[in-house]
Amino acid sequence: MRISTFLYTLKQGVKNIWKNKMFSLASIATMSACIFLFGVFYSVVVNFQKVVKEVESGVAVTVFFEDDIKESKMKEIGKQISKRVEVSKKVFVSAEDTWNEFQKVYFEGAEEFAEDFADDNPLIHSAHYEVYMNDISMQESLVTYLESLEGVKEVKSSDAAANTLTDFNRLIGYVSAGIILILLCVAVFLISNTVTVGIAVRREEIAIMKLIGATDYFVRAPFIVEGILIGVIGSALPLAVLYFMYRRIIFYVAEKFRWLSGMLDFLPVDQVFAVLVPVALILGVGIGFLGSRMTLRKHLKV
C-alpha cells in the first residue's frame, strides 16, 4: 500500500467515526465497558489463581518406606522422584525429625513423659519424603508411580484437597471463557451496527467511487479502519482507568486492612498489566476488525 493511500484510508476512517458520532460513541462506550469488565474479571481471576496456587504449593504427597530399607535405597528413591515432571520439590524428613515434631504436638506441657523414649525412638520407621507438585491435578499419576517404586511401603495423599482445587481451577476457566464470549458478541454486534450506518450514509459516494474505477479494497478499507479505531480507543480508555484503580485498591487495602496482608497478597500492578494491556488491545483490534468485516460482507456489495 502506498503512503498516500494509507493516509487517505486512515483519514476516511476517522471521518466515518466523526460523521456517525452518536453510533461511534455508543460503540466506543460499549467496547470500553466490555474491556473494563474483562480487565476487572481478569485481575480478580489472576489474583484468585495466585491464592489457589499458594494453597496447592502446600499440599504434599507423603512417601513412606519399607521397615528394613537402607539409607542408600532412600536416596535412590529420592533421585527417581526428582526426575518426575509432576514434582516441584521434595523434602526428606528423617525418623528423628518426625519424633521431634511429634513431641512438640503431643507432649507439649508434659515433656517429662517424652524423656522415657530418649534412647528408643518409637517412630524409628517413620522416615519419609514430602513431595510437592507443580500442579495438583497431576497428583493421581504421581501417586500411581510412587506406589510402584521398590522400597515404598505407603503413599499418603489428600484426594479431597486435590479434587477441590482441580475443580475450582476448572470452574474459573469455564466462567472466564463464558464471560469473554458474551463480551465479544456484544461488542461485535455494536461495531457492526456502527459500520452499517456508515455504509448507508456513504452509499452514493461509494457508487460514484466504483464508477470511476475504485477497487474493492479501496472502498472497503476505510470501514475496516473505522472498526479497528473504535476497538483501539475502546480498549485504551478502560485500560488507563483500570491501571489507576488497581494501584489505588492495592494501596488502600495495604493501608486500611493490614491484617489481610498475610492472607491476601495482590499481584504487582506491572505484572498484571504486562499481560492485560496486550491482550485487551488485541481483543479490541480483533473485535473491531471482525465486526467491520462481517458487516461489509453482508451490507456492502462491491
CA 6 to CA 10: how far, in whole Å? 6
Domain 60-157 has CATH 3.30.70.3040: yes
CA 155 to CA 65: how far, in whole Å? 9
Q: How many CB atoms lie within 10 A of CB 105?
A: 7
Within the chain, which residue ranges are assigned CATH 3.30.70.3040? Answer: 60-157
Say yes or no to pLDDT of 5 above 60.
Answer: yes
Contacts of 145 (CB under 8 A, 6+ apart): 84
CA 283 to CA 35: how far, in whole Å? 8
Mean pLDDT of the chain: 76
Task: Show the DSSP H helices in 148-268 as ranges.
Answer: 159-201, 203-211, 216-256
pLDDT digits (tens, 9 = 90+) for 83-135: 888 888 888 888 777 767 766 665 666 555 555 555 666 677 788 888 888 87
SS3 state at 153: strand
Mean pLDDT of 11-39: 75
Q: What is the pLDDT of residue 74?
A: 86
- Whether 129 and 78 have beta carbons less than 8 Å apart is answered as yes
Say yes or no to pLDDT of 16 above 60.
Answer: yes
**132 bridge partner residues:** 60, 89
Grid look-up 506491572 returns 270
- Identify residue 272 by its one-letter amino acid code: V
Please give the residue that has the higher pLDDT: either 251 or 23.
251
CA 256 to CA 169: how far, in whole Å? 30
> What H or E segment, with its residue span, contains residue 64?
strand 60-65
Q: What is the pLDDT of residue 152?
A: 87
Q: What is the pLDDT of residue 1?
A: 53
Say yes or no to pLDDT of 137 above 60.
Answer: yes
> What H or E segment, with its residue span, contains residue 90?
strand 87-93
pLDDT digits (tens, 9 = 90+) for 163-218: 676 777 777 777 777 877 777 777 677 667 766 766 666 666 666 666 776 666 66
